Amino acid sequence: MMPYHMPIVLPGPLPRHWQNEDNWVKGDMIYAVSFERLSFAVLGKDRSGKRLYYKSVITETEIRAVQRCILNGFGLAPLTKHMM
């Protein structure tokens, strides 16, 4: 494990192809994407046929840890000491 890696627990239920024992943040693998090209993961459909989407929120503490991973991935580890 490197300073730009972090295990993260995603609350379930997750789509079957995402159900792993381990999920990781990899702060050295950052990509630019358009919000218009993103969509929520589909969990299936409810009884009426309406799609169900996976939506989850991570804590502020987890967000800060992800930000630290990204700074480490960019080689900016000294900036992490200025984070709250």
Q: Which two three-digit tokens encode residue 28? A: 């050295």
CB atoms within 10 A of CB 44: 10
Angle at the Cα of 26 from the Cα atoms of 82 and 53, rounded to 5 degrees: 110
Residues 31-68 pLDDT 10s: 999 989 988 888 889 999 999 988 888 889 999 999 99
- What does the domain layout of the chain look like in residue ranges? 5-82
Q: Which two three-digit tokens encode residue 65? A: 């840890």
Q: State which of 23-27, 54-58, 78-82 shows the largest mean pLDDT.
A: 23-27
Write the Ramachandran bin of 72: left for phi over 0, alpha for psi from -120 to 50, otherwise beta.
Answer: alpha
* Distance (Å, whole) CA 77 – CA 68: 7
